[in-house]
Structure 1
């Protein structure tokens, strides 16, 4: 079967409409009519081959929300008409220890990404959610319980939501925790919302005074302008946990110094150039940690979606037509979005 998509044929080419092949649903497959797809900065990095290794044609998109249009004979969890989501993974080995523990994102054989991953389907690599339809193994499909009028704003939860929820849960953030969120962008704004919903005391860090009001509106209890030394000093040795969502190279010492004894700084942003080497003394003398975290497994992603539905958490979005993807990418580079673009996939038919 074919479906209309928007993709690019080279790193320096514009996005264009194209008809792409999708496999017919197998016994355990779910066929999905895509309603909305979020636009992640990873999409831009891949489409423009900024990380290298991009295979073309490239159809990005791993924040997918839609409705089931067909199911294979052995599918048990979904039926036609269900509202569902697909995130960053569409396959993994399912036999390694990580997969066995529901941590498919750390599959020792390497998970298959929703786009630019290896597959037997034509053209030999996965094509993502900037499309009107997709076929995915039911294990990698998620139930969406939010109201239908929130579905566009649910799409970014499939990447930005789980990327921030997973470390917050792993490090047991909740009532009584003082939590910092560094960066108020696509990831950071979700970090603020989810940490607030978990009951933590949330401090948002931004380099821009102009974002102070916005961060408070998102649910932050306090806002610190990180360029102001006096504001930073006021929080020395006080944080249980800091989530750093910034994808640009920067000094980590300013934040490790704010952690309590045994506090943790977790990195989820991947900078183009490595961060400067952090001070070891900041870590040794208070048994602090710097750690990293990558999205979440399928069970945890479902837990996140259910939690967000229960607490009314969605992303702040700007809806775009498929024909506006190039312009949206240019604006993302300038951080000119509050806080996530979402494609209305119905516009691909135009």
Structure 2
């Protein structure tokens, strides 16, 4: 099979991909194996910071109250943290771990906190691009994720956004609101059956998106970095071929420094006239200037974006002024299922690191003993 790039990397539990698609390696960034765990700490003294967005504006947790209580029931001390876009050393002072949704965890913060006994960043979700992984490895701080929790919600969101675009929902909605009922015959909705969905990145989310699309009668083509792997019913090919053949192109890969801006002017120009673009992965994968041009000058008929290069998105971002773009504030997959499963996965990881056990989805080396 063709690959998306000549330099594949891989990790157990996650299908392989190339440096443009950005899945992690199966050793740490220094090439060391993950085989050393510290002796566990005593329950009931283990302080776990909670980023502010673990809670709703009214102070209630985003997960069910019964599940929220499971952290304390596991012998941990929950410590709600003030709102911040990036943690400082002071934010993590006195903590053993932190459960974080959207805030950045810079390298200098990790290195300073580790000197005070901090040992674990538990990411609420699958991505970890806002955590300095290199610094975490140097400081001996574990970083874990909860990839299984977001698989179905994000895959369902991908299909929902695709169907909304194809069905011309926003255009019909605008007609009704503007009193242009008589114009309804000027727009034709498109069905997914027989059309081609292209998926860039065939990990957990990509595979589930493909499964749902196949159920709608779509053809599915996809790209993985190594050219190996795949999924039943999915035709594997190189990235350029996926881009060129797709009626709808969906990004389903994490962001790394090597794949930043992978969708640029040349890639959008290679798409079919009238094609659609869906991105629920990371905004940094896309050159937004090139995307805007493709939406206003062709070839794209529309796009659905849950993520942006800069978040929160700036009020003057030109994409916000286009009527052929569906927009969401990096929230389209935040279902009740996702919140609860992410939370329980974080608790499992926190207690594993605390007790000296290997956690389920480890991105870095564990703290050294």
- The TM tier, using the shorter chain, reads 0.3 to 0.5
Which protein has greater RCO, CA pairs closer than 8 Å, 6+ apart? 2
> Which structure shows the higher strand fraction?
1
Task: Give the TM-score, by structure 2 length.
Answer: 0.39
